[in-house]
Amino acid sequence: MPQSGIVKYHVKLSYEVDGLVERADIIGAIFGQTEGLLGPEMNLNELQRVSKVGRIEVIAKSTSNTTSGNAVIPMSTDIDTCALIAAGIESIDKVGPFDCKFTLDAIDDVRAAKKDDIVRRAKEIKQKWATKTVSEGETMLNDVHQGDSGKLSTYGSSKLTCSSGVFDSKWIILVEGRADVINLLRAGYDNVLAIEGAKIDESIKELCAEKDTVVAFIDGDRAGGFILKELKSVVTLDYELQADTGVEVEELTPQRLDEILRPIADEIKNGKPAPKFVSEDDKSITDVATKVFPNLNETLEAIALDGDQNEIFKVPISEVVSKLSSQSGIKYLLLDGIITKRLLEGAKNAGIECVVGHRVAKLSNSDGMTLKTFADLGVS
């Protein structure tokens, strides 16, 4: 859109054509068949000239004898003009010689979405910087608590950073780097070893085999998910922990570290067996996401699978809610987009157990369903 225009709305439509046409044919029909329909001041060409309409984006997909897809029109007009333009496009019944049907899916207020993103980002900034803040008094108390209970050392031929308790403790905490070891040492945990890289050193495998309990404690970001996946492929883990979303282990306050690790430490101290942190259901979800992702990513589509991972349907995201109303037997719904409240309601009514997407919108609850992002599962 020209710099003088500020996008206020996205008019989103879907279409179906009873014949094979190109993307350019769809755009031509939108401009040509609405010309003069609503008066000269509302011709799309004129609105583009005065920076009230931006570049129309069209996605076209063809089968053996039909074409369907979506169109997005960015507009900086008032909502009444948006509605008139949308109604005018819905009146189009031909693309070239072929019958067609346009349907309005939504008019999104771009400014409202931007406000939501600003609030979300502000919360992330607040959380990240709040976790970095440790008062002088708290630091002094932790130094007193720690005393001489532990100190930094190295382990193995690769001289991996660790705390001195690693050698004698019956359980071990695996973290990503040196700074994580130091932070846990300050909080009173001296049985920590840094893996220092995505490639797992052979000495780590040998040490873990000697311990009764092995805990992985990884950063709460996407990279942490990848490292955890690699670690699980070579080491048997009893617990899999991640820092709060978007936060690194080295940034956590001693209090937060203790909240996460204390239940595990108490169970081990009392001689209770350590339960696995990841359920079999979560492992199944990861398997499904890994299988589907390569053919789903960047398609703007959703795919539904039954409990045996058989495909029930695959449709554009704009059609998935209406499609769910007539389907049953779905266990997994995976989509190349955002898990919204409207989609969640449709999934609930269809009896779906798990929904996976790129991002989850701000929701009050998940109605008992499992909601995951591909990043959560370490899939990309």
Q: Each residue of 206-240: pLDDT tens digit? A: 889 888 889 999 998 888 888 888 888 888 888 88
What is the domain class of 9-112 according to CATH?
A: alpha beta
What size, in residues, is the chain?
380
CATH number of 280-373: 3.40.140.20
Q: How confident is the model at residue 1, as a pLDDT?
A: 45
Helix H or strand E encompassing 172:
strand 171-175
Q: How confident is the model at residue 5, as a pLDDT?
A: 55
Residue-wise over 199-238: b if at least 16 C-beta within 10 A, else e? ebbeebeebbeebebbbbbbbbbeebbbbbbbbbeebebb
Q: Which CATH architecture has domain 149-269?
A: 3-Layer(aba) Sandwich (3.40)
Domain range annotation of the chain: 9-112, 149-269, 280-373
Q: Is the pTM of this model over 0.75?
A: no
Q: Which of 14-18, 128-132, 255-259 has the lowest mean pLDDT?
A: 128-132
Strand partners, 72: 12, 57
137 pLDDT band, cuts 50/70/90, is: very low
- CB of 38 closer than 8 Å to CB of 85: yes
